[in-house]
Structure 1
Amino acid sequence: MKIKDRIQDVLRAEAAAIMGIDVTDSFVEAVSWLVACRGKVVVTGIGKAGQVALKYAAILNATGTPAFFLHAAEAAHGDLGSLGAGDLLIAFSVSGTSSEVVGAVSHARQLGVGRVLAVTASKQSPLGQAADLVIEMGRIEEACPLGLTATASTAVMSAIGDALALAAMEQRGYTAADFGKRHPGGALGQATKTP
């Protein structure tokens, strides 16, 4: 396949996967959890889903929801100590079978974490069953010509995270001035300053 054709195929596949997201009441409940959380918002994942989770924590921070990323593999080696009662744990896993992520959720429960939101393919997965609320991605065909590299699935995860963060931002009445206080540097920081 020609390079331009492959690139068009990838872009179309990822756009189609994002447009195929079924926006259910779980999204509404997830946003209400974000807005109501009085503890910490902790985001976890591993592999490519972990990279999406890391980006999601950054988006939450910039939009008025203080959050941090907990690497699922490091969780079992002491980083679980950052969790406690009242925290909201958001776990990302395409398959919902990643042992590190499922284990982090299980151990977080022992530390009193009361709410777990999973973003994963199915409620029936081990992660889906361990969570209190699931945003189901459904079965996604990857854009990779081998059908293996996490491409369309991570685009869907990222879009879901963005949608939740921005909906929570709006529910809070978050303003450009609020954004500027949290993002004073760069072109975006300059754009929020009044002349």
Structure 2
Amino acid sequence: MPVDCYSILDLMLHAASRVEETARAISQDEAAQFLDEILSASRIYVVGAGRSGLVGRAFGMRLMHLGFESYVVGETITPAFGKGDLLVAFSGSGETKSVVETCEIARDLGGRIALITATPDSSIGLIADVTVTLGNHELLRPDVPTDFEVRQLTGQYRSASTEITPAETIFETAALIFSDAIIAALMEVRHCSLDEIRGRWANVQ
């Protein structure tokens, strides 16, 4: 092994400790409010860009497994959003242009917005009904594009960092664990059995 190569175990433990720090700092009130929004929504839509979007898709799938009517924004079978619906946005910066615009549309349509972010004082944070803060990010620098696709094409994707565990990576990992914890809580509230959940797993792929 090269002398300057980090131990994979040490890297994993370092990342795990960062996620633990993030988990311990979560507001229980924010988490409870988010849970209430999920339970009271007519339908639940999830949105996010890049890896945050993948976390959102996983959350939407797990909600479906619990019997919720959930959709991913942008999919061909996603129905029209309306009053009484909840949009769950995953965005570390809270400034990604496509996600901001989707949240603004949801607000104008009379729906509610729940934001999972590391930057509560962001454009989405200012219009969200509920915000769950994971970690602590600074806002995007003025010279960094807010369009996710532009950042990818120009090499300015914020997770590309020289740090051992970039803050954005920690956010995405923490967001996935947080969303799984919410699913576990919902299983308890709705008294979902594993057999009931397994009955909704995909069987044609």
Give structure 1 stretches of 5+ with no counterpart. Answer: 187-195
Conserved in 2, the CA contact under 8 Å of 1:13 and 1:143?
Answer: no
1:151 alignment partner, SS class: helix
Letter in 2 for 1:163: A
List, as ranges, runs of 4+ consecutive aligned residues in structure 1 with deviation greater than 3 Å: 78-81, 142-145, 147-150
Pair 1:13 & 2:29 matched: no
Q: 1:44 and 1:107 mapped to 2: Cα distance? A: 12
Match of 1:60 among 51, 63, 68: 63
Match of 2:33 among 22, 29, 34: 29
Q: What is aligned with 1:45?
A: 48
Conserved in 1, the CA contact under 8 Å of 2:72 and 2:78?
Answer: no
Q: 2:159 and 2:101 mapped to 1: Cα distance? A: 29
Q: What is aligned with 1:136?
A: 133
Q: What is aligned with 1:89?
A: 87
What's the CA shift string for 1:69-105, capped at 9, x where partnerless? 114xx8xxx9996211110110010111111111110
CA offset at residue 36 of structure 1?
2.1
Match of 1:127 among 124, 127, 140: 124
Conserved in 1, the CA contact under 8 Å of 2:95 and 2:123?
Answer: yes
Give the share of equivalent positions with the same residue, in percent.
25
Whichever structure has more helix as a proportion of its residues is 1
Q: TM-score, normalised by structure 2?
A: 0.75
Q: TM-score, normalised by structure 1?
A: 0.79
Q: 2:91 and 2:65 mapped to 1: Cα distance? A: 23
Q: 1:158 and 1:170 mapped to 2: Cα distance? A: 19
Conserved in 2, the CA contact under 8 Å of 1:32 and 1:168?
Answer: no
Letter in 1 for 2:91: S
Q: What is aligned with 1:105?
A: 103
2:110 alignment partner, SS class: coil
2:119 alignment partner, SS class: coil
2:115 alignment partner, SS class: strand
Match of 1:158 among 153, 176, 190: 176
